[in-house]
Amino acid sequence: MPKRSDIAYQRTGRGAVTFRGPFTGLVQGGRCRIGRGAWKCWSARDPSLDGDGYPVAVTTSRILSIALQNTGRPVLRPLPVEAAELLDEVLAPPRLVAHLRAVHDVAGQLLEWIATRKLDLGIDPYAVLFGAATHDIGKALYPAELSGPGAQHEEAGRELLLSRGVDTALARFAGTHAAWTTEEVGMEDLLVSLADKIWKNKRVPELEVKLPRDLGHLMSMLRGCVGAVAGSRLG
């Protein structure tokens, strides 16, 4: 990986730097950008590259806009500010931010329904919402897993959150959202996993049997409403 001194670069916003230099061959013909001490690389075919093969600048305002403002229909609740700022710092791709906001909104709907029914599940609503808002943050480091299979983002995401000062109890969701088959996973983790599956319009019977039976009707309703618009919002 080249040093900063080897490359001409231009700051495009807080936490975002676009590089213009001799990148050919750095990452299988890809390009790189650095922000707050961390390299971020794109393959040559990455859609975030511009016509000249350089990264399209993802400025702070754009990332925070996707995370916090009303950018589509239906209107989704904004991400927690703490989560939005973390996504900004790691230069999260817009598609990732949009996905996290969608899953966070579904998690919020689940929590509201649980509260309305006065179900005592012994959960921390903030933990569930923060977990939903950051569960895939590791894909900022492994962007290929945004559109393809892979689990490298899971532990990488947990470690990334810990390195940014996030408490272990909140960082854990990055590693547990796809590990709901283990006995150690609690109800909060299951709700984050469920919100993720509902947004993807997927049914996972092995996950659903671990949840209270009362959630069954809500799951079907949300899957129909949310899944129908998932593709159009993230396309």
CA dihedral 206, 143, 229, 75 (to 10 degrees): 110
Same domain flag for 48 and 68: no
Pick 148 or 179 by higher pLDDT.
148
pLDDT at 110: 85
Residue 227 — φ and ψ, nearest 5°?
-60, -30
Q: What would the pLDDT profile of 4-34 be if each residue is shown by its tens digit?
A: 333 333 333 333 333 333 333 233 333 444 3
Domain count, the chain: 2
Q: Is the pLDDT score of 193 beyond 80?
A: yes
Look up residue 18 and give its amino acid.
T
Secondary structure (H, E, C), 50-112: CCCCCECCCCHHHHHHHHHCCCCCCCCCCCCHHHHHHHHHCCCCHHHHHHHHHHHHHHHHHHH
Same domain flag for 224 and 200: yes
Last residue of a domain, one of 9, 36, 57: 57
pLDDT above 90 coverage of the chain, percent: 23
pLDDT at 27: 31
Q: State mean pLDDT over 206-230.
A: 50
**Alpha carbons 202 and 182: distance in angstroms, whole number:** 20
Average pLDDT, the chain: 68
Residues recorded for the chain: 235
Same domain flag for 208 and 150: yes
Same domain flag for 134 and 109: yes
